[in-house]
Amino acid sequence: MNMSQSLFGLDDDLIYLNHAAVSPWPLCTADAVKQFACENSSLGATNYLQWLDTERQLRDNLAWLIHAPSSEDISIQKSTSEALSTIAHGLAWENGQNVVFLKEEFPSNRVVWQSLERYGVAARMIEPTGGREAETALLAACDNNTRLISVSSVQYASGLRMDLRRIGNYCKENNILFCVDAIQSLGALDFDVNLVGADFVVADGHKWMLGPEGVALLYTDKNIRKSLELNQFGWHMLESAGDFDALETTPTSDGRRFECGSPNMLGIHALNSSISFIREIGLEKISADILRNTDLLIRLISDHPHLELISSPDQERRSGIVTFKVHAGDHEQIYRELMRRHVICAPRGGGIRFSPHFYTGEQKLHDAIQILDQIINDK
């Protein structure tokens, strides 16, 4: 039995290369969800205090994942978009200020900043030209009115791994806030919020963290957290949460202040199991295996006469994403044919995106390229 079967239960005829979109759950996570459902159906909320322990464990696990100073810095949100909106519409903006981000960002990390234009905030969408590095273009677009830079740790379409420390150092030196969308790296690559210098980190759990949709991380620096205006209100965010007779409406000072209502306990149990699984395997091993798969894919694509690599070949720029295009090929048609032949991938960035995880065997990658070759030759 191979690793994908023993740990994930994936159908063996699938070549699953779509972890940058939605990951399959490990078996332990599926079991955690089944157990929670059975418990809820037979006992209701009898064990609610134990559920709260799982919620605390998830905060600890998320803090571990980004090397946060404390689990109190963690808020559990519904999605990356909600977390970004909490930040964007929590900051006190002044007319004439601007936000800087890349044009190639996923829509979540563009739309939220563009929504601030109603307050007189300019959303500066930057496209590097003339061979300039993405970081150089971002920083060159900043001025004295720049309030925040927002960037993905890894670009979703190209797989470009950003130099976050360079951007973070610039932000610190110029009194600019730094927001990182880490959805394409958390669970795949080491991320240290202290080294990066991010004020905010956001990420949904359904990609490299191997969890469900609907549960996301929001990290806020403790020195900035209280300055964010609250736009959602409810019992769960209060200092007195749990004391339902209290008339006090003071929000708690920790990350729970951005969680207005009842938590998604089913999703919490699932994501907690997935990150516990990642901790058990070891993030260092996971990262090494992912990058080994990336290296192999880049080599196979670079050596293929009909394929052209879109992702950067530079070692320090590699992530779990490898995007390529087919010479004189209809990428949408090739993508659909790959899917029909059980190579699960995505059309992104003007080409086709493969994103294997740590458990993806090398033979699966060779098989995917062989199937792709057959599709090209059958044209």
**Burial profile 337-354: b = 16 or more Cβ within 10 angstroms, e = fewer:** bbeeeebbbbbbbebbbb
- Stated as kind and residue range, the H or E segment containing 266 is helix 265-281
Angle at 31 between CA 28 and CA 34, to 5 degrees: 155
Architecture category of domain 29-280 in CATH: 3-Layer(aba) Sandwich (3.40)
- For 318-379, give the DSSP string: --S-EEEEETT--HHHHHHHHHHTTEE-EEETTEEEEB--TT--HHHHHHHHHHHHHHHHH-
Residue 3: predicted pLDDT:
60
What is the share, in percent, of the chain residues with pLDDT greater than 90?
92
Q: Cα dihedral angle (204, 210, 215, 216), rounded to 10 degrees?
A: -30
> 100: which strand partners?
124, 149
pLDDT number for residue 19: 98
- Token code pair at residue 256: 């729970």
Cα separations in angstroms, 284 against 29, 58, 170: 21, 20, 28
**Number of alpha carbons in the 13 Å side-chain half-sphere of residue 366:** 3
Closest CA to 150 of 102, 94, 195: 102
Instruction: Give me the sign of the Cα torsion angle 14, 19, 20, 23.
Output: positive
Please name the amino acid found at residue 218: L
End-to-end CA separation in angstroms for the chain: 35
The tens digit of pLDDT for each residue in 339-370 reads: 999 999 999 999 999 999 999 999 999 999 99
Average pLDDT over residues 64-72: 98
Beta carbons of 91 and 221 less than 8 angstroms apart: no
Question: Residue 268: which pLDDT band, with cuts at 50, 70 and 90?
Answer: very high
To the nearest whole number, what is the mean pLDDT of the chain?
96
Euclidean distance between CA atoms 76 and 263, whole angstroms? 8
Average pLDDT over residues 209-234: 96
Residue 6 pLDDT: 85
pTM value?
0.96
Instruction: Judge residue 161's burial from the number of C-beta atoms within 10 Å of its C-beta, 0-12 exposed, 13-18 middle, 19 or more buried.
Output: buried
Residue 1 has pLDDT above 60, yes or no: no
Please write the tens of the pLDDT for every residue from 164-206: 999 999 999 999 999 999 999 999 999 999 999 999 999 999 9
The SS3 assignment for 185 reads coil
Query: Which pLDDT score is estimated for 2?
Result: 61
Residue 4's pLDDT is what? 57
The yes-or-no verdict on residue 223 having pLDDT over 90 is: yes
Convert the pLDDT of each residue in 106-151 to its tens digit: 999 999 999 999 999 999 999 998 778 999 999 999 999 999 999 9
* Placement of tokens 């150089």 in the chain: 136
pLDDT in tens, 282-341: 999 999 999 999 999 999 999 999 999 999 999 999 999 999 999 988 999 999 999 999
d(CA 167, CA 176): 10
Pair of tokens at residue 5: 């079967």
Strand, coil or helix: 36: helix
The CATH code of domain 3-17+283-378 reads: 3.90.1150.10
d(CA 285, CA 18): 20
In the predicted structure, residue 264 carries a pLDDT above the cut 80: yes
pLDDT of residue 343: 98
pLDDT band at 245 (very low <50, low <70, confident <90, very high): confident
Domain ranges of the chain: 3-17+283-378, 29-280
186: tokens are 């958390």
User: Pick the residue with more confidence: 60 or 247?
Assistant: 60
